Amino acid sequence: MTLPALLLLGVFAYVPMAGNVIAWQDYSPYVGIIESPFIAWDNFARVLTSPAFLHAVQNTLVITAFQLVFFFPIPIFLALLLNSVLTPAIRTTIQSIVYLPHFFSWVLVVTIFQQMFGGAGLVNQILTQNGWGSFDLMTNPDTFLLLITSQSVWKDAGWGIIIFLAALSTVDPALYEASVMDGASRWRRMWHITLPALRPVIILLLILRLGDSLTVGFEQLILQRGAVGAQVSEVIDTFVYYQGVINGDWGFATAAGLMKGVISLLLVLGANKLAHLFGEAGVYQKS
């Protein structure tokens, strides 16, 4: 039953990896891979000395660090909050509402934020009508980091609680009952029972997030690049897209993308090793 899925994975994920060979070529689509001249590590040297690439890396790391602090904990908080709701019907209703935006495309999400916080948006109209001035959040480079993080929270935080709620469902209710009998308060129960139950899942998702830290949302950023400028919105994925697809510098863009993949792999391996040192299973562990 898994053969069709493995076949699709091989055809669309692993076979295309052979195309990374153009990172060592002065590739031209008009002559193909075989006829394109081999230039060794020149493309990688250009990547490492490119101010535009280094700036894209800096923006990527800043966005990742900011969202790791202000976005990653929110699904955990929502899961704890929903877990404390005693009525199943209310819990299901709230959960359905908060994870519904996950199914919206980024085009729709950006459009909704534009209609709310843009120059002619609802918030600005209310402020103007009451004589309180106006602001345009959608074109302000100084608040762009806050804007994209807010969009990510609204779109994906609700979906992220599913994994944590699944982890909480495995906790033995007898542990809570025994702690209540011993006089433990709600905060004590959360600290000594709930959070330890979530710790393996939190560490696992944190490792995966670190491995994906250099990917911060291509579609979300490229949709808003024209409004705020490349200075604050350029990340590694958009850099690779513009250098390769738009400018036609295929070998250079492939080298940049390949370096991103290698660094992401090293981050996963390093974070997984760190998890082992703290006694957690991580993504994998040796038998």
Q: What is the 3-state secondary structure (H, E, C) of 9-62?
A: HHHHHHHHHHHHHHHHECCCCCCHHHHCCECCCHHHHHHHCCHHHHHHHHHHHH
Q: What are phi and psi of 186, to 5 degrees?
A: -60, -40
Q: Which two tokens stand for residue 159?
A: 């979906």
Residue 170 CB-density burial (10 A; 0-12 exposed, 13-18 middle, 19+ buried) = exposed
As a whole number of angstroms, the distance between CA 84 and CA 168 comes to: 11
pLDDT (tens place) for every residue of the chain, 287 residues total: 899 999 999 999 899 888 899 999 999 888 888 889 999 899 999 999 999 999 999 999 899 889 888 888 898 888 888 877 767 788 888 888 888 999 999 999 999 999 988 878 888 888 888 878 777 788 889 889 999 999 999 998 888 888 888 888 888 888 888 888 888 888 888 888 888 888 888 888 888 787 777 888 889 999 999 888 889 999 999 999 999 989 989 999 999 999 988 888 888 888 878 777 777 777 767 66
Three-state secondary structure call for residue 174: helix
Residue 239 CB-density burial (10 A; 0-12 exposed, 13-18 middle, 19+ buried) = buried
As a whole number of angstroms, the distance between CA 166 and CA 106 comes to: 27
User: Using N-to-C axis directions, what is the helix angle for 144-168 and 88-99, rounded to 10°?
Assistant: 140
b (16+ CB within 10 A) / e for 39-60: eeebbbebbeebeebeebbebb
Which residues touch 167 (CB under 8 Å, ≥6 apart)? Answer: 197, 198, 200, 201
Quick: pLDDT tens for 178-199.
888 888 888 888 888 888 888 8
Measured in whole angstroms, how far is the alpha carbon of residue 149 from the centre of its chain?
Answer: 10
Asked whether the beta carbons of 282 and 203 are under 8 A apart, the reply is yes
